[in-house]
Amino acid sequence: MRYEGKVYRPWTEARSILIQTTLGCSINTCTFCSMFDDKRFKVRDIEDVFKDIKQARIIYPFVESVFLIDGNVMAARTDYLLKVLDKLKSTFPEATKISMYSGLNDFRRKTVNELKEIKDAGLDMCYSGLESGDPIVLERIKKRMTAEHAIEGMAMAKEAGIQTLLSFIFGLGGRERSDEHIEATTEILNITQPEEIAPMALAVQPGTVMEQQVQRGEFIMPTQMQVLREEKYLLENLNIDTFYWGDHGNNLVPQKGFLLDQKAQFLTNLNAAITSNPMAQENVIQTFAW
């Protein structure tokens, strides 16, 4: 198995084998992210991908799930993805799940028929970064995506039957736009109704544009209380049938489960942290690099 550069996968894919299908991220401008600053976006030669798949078969006698990396594999051509998925399905017939990263704009750049072909070829799930629903925050973080793009992309994925997990970041609006950020993000989640969501508390990554903005005083980090209140607002106003992956290592109150079943308990946990956790009174959120 050969990997180039830094390798990332969602924490929910800890037991999946990783097949590097593309290198880097085709956007790679987000101010908060340094995941792929060591390489330029490239679609790997398909024969090299096939060799890695063959090698993985030799190493692993049983493969339950496969995750395709790097940053947004869905940006590759449809015919290329169909060949990779066909190879995976024939090599690992026992696998019950094949997933990948996909930008919401990557869905938009394909037709629904193409997305259906990719789904039928074996893709089960995509992980997409919403980050925020606030247009001002999206512009400031240089996401190269609008709220309207996110809604359109999710609608296309749903029509194609591709299960999608949307991730977003508590505190990404900073101290100034905490309310606007979480209100707009909650609104988009209610509109798009992703099958799974993964909120994470903001962590400033070393070497990022955001780190420089924090150092210059251009971005003021949110307080612990603001992050807790953002999650409380989200849970109080989110009314979708989704799985809540709120157990990222940076979240102040780690919790996960089916939202409609667990919402009351989640809110109880949050309210306890708001009223009695001394960390909540601290002036600046303290999180750790990914």
pLDDT tens digits for 17-71?
999 999 999 999 999 999 998 899 999 999 999 999 999 999 999 999 999 999 9
pLDDT at residue 278 greater than cutoff 90:
no
| Cα–Cα dist 84/176, whole Å | 45
Q: What is the residue extent of each domain of the chain?
A: 11-281
**Residue range 215-233, pLDDT digits in tens:** 999 999 999 999 999 999 9
With a pLDDT cut of 90, the percent of the chain lying above it is 90
Pairing status of strand 196-201 against strand 22-23: unpaired
Q: Does domain 11-281 have CATH number 3.30.70.120?
A: no
Give residue 52's Cα distance to chain centre. Answer: 25
* Both structure tokens of 258: 């089916």
Write down the pLDDT at residue 268. Answer: 97
Q: How many CA atoms lie within 13 A of 195 on its CB side?
A: 13
Q: Do the beta carbons of residue 18 and residue 100 sit within 8 Å? A: no
pTM over 0.85: yes
Please give the radius of gyration of the chain, using alpha carbons only, rounded to the nearest integer.
19
Q: Do the beta carbons of residue 257 and residue 210 sit within 8 Å? A: no
| Cα–Cα dist 95/16, whole Å | 10
Query: By C-alpha distance, which of 130, 79, 78 is closest to 104?
Result: 130
- Dihedral sign, Cα of residue 185, residue 30, residue 173, residue 12: positive
SS percent in the chain: helix, strand, coil, step 5: 45, 15, 40
Write down the pLDDT at residue 286. Answer: 66
Q: Helix (H, G, I), strand (E, B), or coil: what is residue 208?
A: coil
